[in-house]
């Protein structure tokens, strides 16, 4: 396993839309941004043999329990020596070390730009994706959820 301060060499290869839904008619002009709950989802799909990491990353805007905007994209990265960042656990589960915040930072920033373009001219242009601490996001997305 590599050191945390290792020189990480990676690049974004492609971005593809998986899903996009928007319901601007369900949002009033006088809605305050704090009324919108923003949720995230992600799924990491490493391909160690090909040094590639795919992330399916989604953003969901909820208003009074109803989805009013949902955007999901697949981000494909090339990561040099990916195997050094992947730890295989029981039942083919894996843990990604050190690179997750970097990957999420690119996904969140790119998603922010995508939402600006996709929501231009709609009520949602008033509610851009806020600044997000990717380390906190990573912790929240990685934590087991109680059901």
Helix or strand holding residue 118 (H, E): helix 100-118
Tens digit of pLDDT for each residue in 119-139? 999 999 999 988 888 888 888
Compute the average pLDDT of residues 28-49: 90
Residues whose CB falls within 8 Å of the CB of residue 24, separated by 6 or more in sequence, listed in order:
68, 122, 123, 124
- Asked if residue 119 lies in contact with residue 69, where contact means CB atoms within 8 angstroms, the answer is yes
Q: What is the Cα–Cα distance from 26 to 95, expressed in whole angstroms?
A: 39
Q: What is the pTM of this model?
A: 0.86
Q: Domains of the chain, with CATH numbers?
A: 10-27+35-142 (3.10.420)
Percentage of residues in the chain having pLDDT higher than 70: 92
Q: What is the Cα–Cα distance from 72 to 41, expressed in whole angstroms?
A: 9
Tens digit of pLDDT for each residue in 107-119? 999 999 999 999 9
Tens digit of pLDDT for each residue in 74-91? 999 999 999 999 887 877
Residue 97 reports pLDDT greater than 90: no
Residue 15 corresponds to which tokens in the numbers above? Answer: 């971005």
Half-sphere exposure of 109 (CA within 13 A, CB side): 9
CA-based end-to-end distance of the chain = 33
Q: How confident is the model at residue 28 (pLDDT cuts 50, 70, 90)?
A: confident
Residue 34 reports pLDDT greater than 60: yes
């Amino acid at each position: 396993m590599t050191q945390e301060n290792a020189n990480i060499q990676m690049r974004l290869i492609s971005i593809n839309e998986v899903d996009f839904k928007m319901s601007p008619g369900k949002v009033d002009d006088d809605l305050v941004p704090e009324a919108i709950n923003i949720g995230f989802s992600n799924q990491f799909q490493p391909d160690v043999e090909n040094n590639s990491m795919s992330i399916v990353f989604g953003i969901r805007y909820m208003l009074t329990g109803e989805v009013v905007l949902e955007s999901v994209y697949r981000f494909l990265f090339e990561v040099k020596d990916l195997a050094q960042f992947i730890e295989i656990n029981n039942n083919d589960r894996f843990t990604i070390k050190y690179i997750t915040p970097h990957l999420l930072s690119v996904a969140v920033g790119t998603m922010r730009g995508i939402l600006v373009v996709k929501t231009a001219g709609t009520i949602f242009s008033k509610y851009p994706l806020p600044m997000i601490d990717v380390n906190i996001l990573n912790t929240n997305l990685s934590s087991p959820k109680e059901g």
